Structure 1
Amino acid sequence: MATLSPDDLKILEYTDNLIKELPFYIRDFRIEKTKEQISFRTIHQYLYRYKIFFEWLIKEGIVDSADIKEITLEHLSKIRKKDIEYFIEHVSKEDISKEHETSRRVREMRSVSLMVSALKSLFHFLAVTSDDEQGKTYLSENIMAKVKIPVYKETSANRAAEIATQILDSNRLFDFVDYLGNDGPDGYLAKLKVPQQISLFKRDRERDIAIIAILLSTGMRVGELARITMSDINYSAQTVKITRKGNKKDTIYIIDSAFNRLLEYIAIRNTRYPQAEVCPFLFVTFRKPARAISIRTIQMFVEKYTESYFPNGVYPHKLRHSFSVAFIKNGGEMTMLRDLLGHTDIKTTSLYINMANSDKIHALNALESYLRTRP
C-alpha cells in the first residue's frame, strides 16, 4: 500500500467513523469497492452521500426507522422510483452558493449528478454484485436502473467563460516565482513589516517557491503534489511519480526552472526541518518530527503570496487553469495537455482551447469597429 499522508489518514479516519453510523451492507459495499481499487477518497464521498440519503428517508417517513443503522434491506426494497425523484428534487433545491445564477445552477446540477451516481453505485452493488450467505444478491431489483443521471446542458464556451475569470496573466506567471525569490526592494520580502512574518518566510521560502513553481509548470493538483514522496523523484530524468484521481499512477516531467527550485529546497530540507530525513514525503512542515505538508497549508500560503502580486489572491486550482491556458497559447497540443492534467475525457481539456484562442474576440471587435464607421 502506498505511503499515506496526514490528509489521507484523516479521510480514512472520517470514513471509519462514518461507517459506524451506517447499516451493515454499506460496510460490505466499502469492502467491495476497496477490492475494485476505487480511491478511498471516492468511497468516503459515496458514504457521505448515503448518510444524507438515509437521513432524508427517515425525515420523510419513507422508512419506519429512527436510526440510520436500522434501515434494512427490506426498507430499501420498498423504495420506488418516485421516492428517488422526490429526493433528487430535494437535493437540487439546496442553496449551494450565492454565485452568479448560471454558475450556481451548474454547481447544483453537478452535486445532484454526483448524488445520483453514488446511489446508482450502491444499488448496483446491492442488486447485482452482492452475495449473501445463500449466494443471492441483497436486493432482487435495482430501482436506480430506472433513474437517469441529470445533466445540465451548457455550451463549452459558457463553461470556458466561467473558468476564464480564474486565469492569471500567463506573461506574469514565472515573474511571480522570481518575485518571491527576490531579496531586493521589488521582491516579496521587502513588503513584509512584521518580524515574525519575515522570519517565517525566510524559513520556508525554498519550500514554498518550489511548490508554487511545480504547480505553475506542471498543472498538477495540490493533492497530487502533497502526496509526493522522496522516492518518487527521478533526478536524472527530472520527473516525479504522482497518484491521480481514481488512484491512477502517472509520471510528470518538471521543467528546468522549476526543478532547480526543487533542488534548492531539497538541499536544505533535512537540516532546516527537524527530523525531515525520517519523513517519506517530499514537502514537510516545521514540526518535530517533520510531517507531510497538508493540502490546506498549501492553499493558505498560495493565496497569501498571490494576494501581494496579483489583483486578487487565488487558490492553487487557479494555477492549474492558468498553466493550461499558457500551455495552449504557447503551441502545446490538446492531447498532450490532457495527459499532463490527468484528464480522462478530452472534452474537459478542450475547454482551455476556448480560453486560449482569442482570435474570435479580435474578429468580433473588428466587426464592431467596421459597423460603427459605416456611413
Structure 2
Amino acid sequence: MNAAGPDRAWLEKWLDHLRYERRLSGLTVKNYHRDIEALYTFLCNAEVPDWGRVDSGHVRSFAARLHRRGQAPRSIQRRLAAVRNLFAFLLREGVVQANPGVDITAPKAPRRLPGTLDADAMGRLLDVRGDHPIATRDRAIMELLYSSGLRLAELAALETTDVDFGEGTVRVTGKGAKTRIVPVGAKAREALRDWIKVRPQLLKTPSSAMFISRIGRPLSMRNIQARVEHWARRLGLPQGVSPHTFRHSFATHLLESSGDLRAVQELLGHADISTTQIYTHLDFQHLARIYDQAHPRARKRR
C-alpha cells in the first residue's frame, strides 16, 4: 500500500482543465492521466505529502527511475512533459510556487526518420481494384490520406459535410481542437465521390461519419489501420505500412518537389516548424543536382 501523497483532487481539476479549457482530445487526456499517475505513485512512495514540497530533485529522481527500469527516452520525455504541464496548472492556481519540471530533461532519443513510400510504391498501394463498397471505401481512405496528409485520428473523425467538393478542400480538426482547411487532390475527390455513391449500401442507421464499417458504424482508428495493413500485404509492399506512412510520404514528396517547409507545416497542422523539419531528409544526390544547376560557382567553366 502506497503512503499518503499529495491531494489527488488537484489531479482531477487538472484533467478537467485539459478537457474543458484546453479542449484536448479524449485520447490525449487519457495519455496525460496515465503518465501523471506514474509520478503520483512515485511521490506516494517517497512520502511527499504536498504538491508544494515537490522539487526538481524529486522530478530528476523520477526520471532516473524510469530510465533504470528501461523506459525509452521518448516515453520519459512524454512523462516529463506531463509533469511540466501539471505543475504549470498548479502554479497558475497558486498551489505551488515554482514548476519543478522546467529544467529536467530526459536522455536524448535517437532521431528516427519516418517511414515513407516512394511515388511508384504509393501508386501501387492506391491501385485498389474492385467495386465492392468495402474496396471503394478503402480506396477513398487511402487516397485522402495521401492527398491531404491527414492524421489517423483526423480521418477517423471526418463527417460527410467536412468535404467541400466544389472548393476541393476538407475541413479537419487536429491536435488541440484546431481546425484547418486542406486541399484534396482530383484523384482523392474522385475516390470520395465513388464512396459517397455506395455508402448507403452499408448504412444501417443514420450517421454523419464519412467512413463507416460493413455494419454501418463509424470506422474506428484501429479498423482503418487494419485495412491499410490488409492492402499493403495484398499488394506485396514492405511491412510496417500504416496510415502514418501516407502522412510521411505526403510531406516528403511535397518537400522534395517544392522545398517550401512553411507550406508543408501549414498543411500538416504542425504548431512548431521544428516538427516539420524531420521531413527534410531529401536525397543527397537530388540536393547535389539542384546545387550544380543553381549555384554560379558549383562547376568550373569550360
Superposition TM-score, scaled by structure 1 size: 0.68
- Alpha-carbon distance in structure 2 between the residues aligned to 1:236 and 1:352: 31
Match of 2:228 in 1: 302
Confirm whether residue 91 of structure 1 aligns to residue 74 of structure 2: no
Match of 1:148 in 2: 103
Matches within 5 A, 1:135-214: 137-139=94-96, 141-144=97-100, 147-150=102-105, 159=111, 162-163=112-113, 166-178=115-127, 180-181=128-129, 202-214=132-144
The question of whether the paired residues in 2 share the 8 Å contact of 1:307 and 1:313 is answered with: no
Confirm whether residue 320 of structure 1 aligns to residue 247 of structure 2: yes
Confirm whether residue 129 of structure 1 aligns to residue 92 of structure 2: yes
- Alpha-carbon distance in structure 2 between the residues aligned to 1:152 and 1:80: 20
The question of whether the paired residues in 2 share the 8 Å contact of 1:305 and 1:313 is answered with: no
- Bigger helix fraction: 1
Identify which of 327, 333, 336 aligns with 2:260. 333
- Alpha-carbon distance in structure 2 between the residues aligned to 1:82 and 1:350: 33
The question of whether the paired residues in 1 share the 8 Å contact of 2:154 and 2:173 is answered with: yes
- 2:258 partner SS: coil
Relative to structure 1, is the Cα distance of residues 329 and 171 closer, same or farther in structure 2, using a 3 angstrom cutoff? farther
Confirm whether residue 270 of structure 1 aligns to residue 270 of structure 2: no
- 2:43 partner SS: helix
Seq. identity, %: 24
- Alpha-carbon distance in structure 1 between the residues aligned to 2:55 and 2:108: 27
Q: Please, what is the CA RMSD of the aligned residues?
A: 2.5
The question of whether the paired residues in 2 share the 8 Å contact of 1:325 and 1:356 is answered with: no
Query: Aligned-pair distance for 1:306?
Result: 0.7
Identify which of 210, 213, 225 aligns with 1:282. 210
Q: Deviations over 1:253-286 (max 9, x none)?
A: 11001110000000011133323xx101100112
Confirm whether residue 113 of structure 1 aligns to residue 77 of structure 2: yes
Larger displacement relative to structure 2 (225-234 or 310-319): 310-319
Query: Aligned-pair distance for 1:35?
Result: 4.2
Letter in 2 for 1:92: H
Letter in 1 for 2:13: D
Superposition TM-score, scaled by structure 2 size: 0.84
Q: Deviations over 1:317-357 (max 9, x none)?
A: 11211122222223352221111111122222222222345
Count of matched residue positions in the alignment of Structure 1 and Structure 2: 282
Return 5+ residue gaps in structure 2 as ranges. 1-6, 291-302
Between Structure 1 and Structure 2, whose CA radius of gyration is higher? 1
- Alpha-carbon distance in structure 2 between the residues aligned to 1:207 and 1:321: 22
Matches within 5 A, 1:8-157: 23-40=8-25, 41-58=27-44, 60-63=45-48, 74-96=49-71, 108-126=72-90, 128-130=91-93, 137-139=94-96, 141-144=97-100, 147-150=102-105
The question of whether the paired residues in 2 share the 8 Å contact of 1:232 and 1:241 is answered with: yes
Letter in 1 for 2:30: H
Letter in 1 for 2:92: T
Larger displacement relative to structure 2 (117-126 or 325-334): 325-334
Match of 2:280 in 1: 353
Relative to structure 1, is the Cα distance of residues 143 and 282 closer, same or farther in structure 2, using a 3 angstrom cutoff? closer
Larger displacement relative to structure 2 (34-43 or 305-314): 34-43
Return 5+ residue gaps in structure 1 as ranges. 1-21, 64-73, 97-107, 131-136, 184-200, 364-375
- Alpha-carbon distance in structure 2 between the residues aligned to 1:56 and 1:305: 44
The question of whether the paired residues in 2 share the 8 Å contact of 1:326 and 1:356 is answered with: no
- 2:100 partner SS: helix
Matches within 5 A, 1:217-236: 217-236=147-166
Letter in 2 for 1:50: I
Relative to structure 1, is the Cα distance of residues 109 and 298 closer, same or farther in structure 2, using a 3 angstrom cutoff? same
